[in-house]
Chains A and B, each alone.
Chain A
Amino acid sequence: MILGNVLAFAAMYSEGGEGGGGLLSVNPGLAFWTVLTFLLLLVILRKVAWTPILQALDEREAKIKESLEQAEKAQSEAKALIEENRQNMSKAEDEARKLLADAQKIAERNIEASRGEAKAQAERIIADAQQEIDRKKQEALNEIKGQIAELSVAIAEKVIRKNLSEQVQKDVIDQYINELQKN
């Protein structure tokens, strides 16, 4: 029905053509050529243009996407690395500080220890010396005591010898002889 309208309409204008028909008339020859040309064009372009172009576009899109993702990944990795570095650094710093403190403590302890030892040694030496001194003093005292006793005995002898009578001497000698005889 619509087609009929068109054909009627076309017929109105169909007188104007020069071998090509009217404005609204369908020319079978041209239709044939158009179908042939268009289908050939479709086949050729599909092979020559659309497939490679669309493929290239897809590839490029995939590549761009991949590159962006990779960049993002690299960035996050870099960020993580930086963070890790920072942590490592602060950890190392802490460790260094701790080491230093430890060393200081050890050194202090060493100093303290050697000071104590030195003191102890000094004390010991002093004590030894004191002992030696005391011993020497005692020895000297003893020697002096011995000499004093000897001297006192000698003095007493002298005094006694002067004071003892003949009789007493005789008694004493007798006593000795008696005692010798008893033995």
Chain B
Amino acid sequence: MTDTLHTVADTVARAAEGGHGAEDNWIMHHILDGNVLDFKPFGEIHLPTLHLFGYDLPITKHTVFLWVVALLMIFVLRAAAKKYKKSMVPSGVQNMLEIIIVFVRDEIAKNTIGKGYENFLPYLLTAFFFILFSNFLGLIPFTATVTSNITVTAVLATLSFLTIQLGGMRKNGVFGYMKGLVPHGIPIVFLPVIAVVEFIGLFTKPFALAIRLFANMTAGHIVIYALFSLIFVMKSFGIAFLSVPMALFVYFLEILVALLQAYIFTMLSSLFIGMAVHQEH
């Protein structure tokens, strides 16, 4: 959900042009990444492309909000961390953050990884808060949801994948980890098949992570846009009485989904780490 104003303005502008073909893509236009920051009707900012080390590194809409999320996280969490130095009693936003941190620590990391969970806590916490902040930031008008970009979720999933594999290898040794991938007591005939299946399984897990997060964060936005577009498709303001409440409902649902997806991504990453570290289970 970037913004409703934008949608309306955009659609009205296109309707005024009289062209029907251009309208097909406007939802995609909001969902997809781009090198323009839209603040219609207030204007727009064109973003530059950096050329570093012989590569084109365009700064896109999602890149900008990636940085916004990162700065926001550093700002908020650093402020919360500083409060601990003043007093042992938490207050204000610190309380809320603490609940989440303790939840990630106790319910996610400690429960699924068990012994040695402390090593993975920084990654899990960063991933959780990154997804949470991105999801919530995306709900604010004029912004973009970083986590509704498959590139971002793929990177997150890849980092989870690396954390899982490296964590497993560090605990069990490279060969020990490879050997542990195949369950015990498998007839030797099936061994090659199982090995292949398990090997593929290693990659499907993070793949599912990436797709799940991306799809969930994209779907909600698309549904909201689709509901609004009903007004224009039907060419009647009366539809607004139906589509606005429904969009609002989906919007609230997205608040839930924003929290839920951050939890699911972190929980599953943690679970896979736990499985990789303690292979005997």
Contact = CB atoms under 8 A, between A and B. Distances in A.
Q: Which of B36, B67, B77 has the most CB of A within 10 A?
A: B77
A23 B35 CA distance: 15
A31 B32 contact: no
Nearest to B123: A42
B101 A31 contact: no
Interface in B202-261: 203-204, 207, 218
Question: Chain A interface secondary structure, helix, strand, loop or mixed?
Answer: helix
B121 interface: yes
A12 to B, nearest CB: 12
B126 A30 contact: no
Interface stretch (A45-53, A82-90, A128-136): A45-53
Interface stretch (B13-21, B148-156, B187-195, B270-278): B148-156
B184 interface: no
Interface string A34-47: 11011111101110
Interface stretch (B4-12, B57-65, B173-181): B57-65
Contact of A32 (B57, B80, B105): B57
A27 B149 CA distance: 9
B66 interface: yes
A63 B67 contact: no
B166 interface: no
A26 B81 contact: no
A26 B218 CA distance: 15
Given A2-B204, A22-B32, A33 B63 contact: yes
Could you say which interface size class chain B belongs to?
35 or more
A20 B34 contact: yes
Given A42-B126, A53-B80, A19 B101 contact: no
Nearest to A59: B88
B66 A20 contact: no
B66 A33 contact: yes
B98 A48 contact: no
Given A38-B156, A41-B73, A44-B74, A19 B122 contact: no
A26 B74 contact: no
A150 B254 CA distance: 159
A113 B87 CA distance: 79
B67 A27 contact: no
Contacts of A63: 88
Contacts of A34: 66, 151-152, 155-156
A60 interface: yes
A41 B218 contact: no
Contacts of A42: 122-123, 126
Interface string B24-66: 0100110111111000000000000100000111111111001
6 contacts: A2-B207, A16-B28, A39-B159, A41-B126, A42-B122, A45-B125
Given A2-B203, A13-B28, A17-B32, 15 more contacts: A16-B29, A19-B33, A19-B34, A21-B32, A28-B55, A29-B58, A34-B66, A38-B130, A38-B159, A42-B126, A45-B129, A49-B81, A50-B125, A53-B81, A57-B105
9 closest residue pairs by CB, A with B: A20-B33, A56-B84, A49-B77, A34-B155, A19-B35, A16-B28, A46-B122, A30-B151, A18-B34
Interface of A: 2-3, 10, 13, 16-35, 37-42, 44-46, 48-54, 56-57, 59-60, 63
